[in-house]
Amino acid sequence: MLGLYVRVHNFVNWPIRIMKEGIRRVSIAGIARLAVERERLKDQSTKAVTLLVTRALPMCLGLSILGAPLLQVVYSPKWSDSATALGVLYFLGLARVTVGLFFDLLVALGRSKITFALQFTWLLMLAPAPCLGVRWTGTIRGPATPHAIIGYGVVVPLVASPPWS
């Protein structure tokens, strides 16, 4: 089951990675230019996150709806059982793209140690999550659910309202 999960997780990561890398190419430079104007940086960051979510949400919803047929075309119909995790994983992908923008903000502001600490904390929390999720649900959707819960319940709030700003 975890093998199927890894395959579908990688499948979901393709569009998410493309989006994150495209954003990263311009975000760090743009944020660095605004770093001296804190109020403008805050205003522009809010606009960027809003724009990102309003553009990424429809893509994630569309891919979660079309994901099962795409998965069958790309891999084969035998992988259709793993499609039940797609909706949760695309929802998680939206969190990862959003958090990535906040991480870019921290890096551009010279706070890479905080970024590392947040990413390491996320990793530590996720380490047991797939096994616990499978045990909890007994389905392929099991590993994805704790990822989404940790992403939206812990990581997004930590980076969206940082005490270090």
Residue 83 lies inside a defined structural domain of this protein: yes
Residue 147 lies inside a defined structural domain of this protein: yes
Q: Which domain covers residue 99, as residue numbers?
A: 2-160
Residue 92 lies inside a defined structural domain of this protein: yes
Residue 165 lies inside a defined structural domain of this protein: no
Distance of CA 31 to the CA centre of its chain: 20
Residue 13 lies inside a defined structural domain of this protein: yes
Residue 76 lies inside a defined structural domain of this protein: yes
The phi-psi region of residue 37 (left if phi > 0; otherwise alpha if psi is between -120 and 50; otherwise beta) is beta
pTM over 0.85: no
Going residue by residue through the chain, which has 165 residues, state the pLDDT in tens, using 9 for 90 and above: 667 777 888 888 887 888 888 888 888 888 888 878 878 888 888 888 888 888 888 888 888 888 788 888 888 887 777 778 888 888 888 888 888 888 888 888 888 898 898 899 889 988 888 778 778 777 777 788 888 888 888 888 888 776 545
Q: How many domains does the chain have?
A: 1
Residue 19 lies inside a defined structural domain of this protein: yes
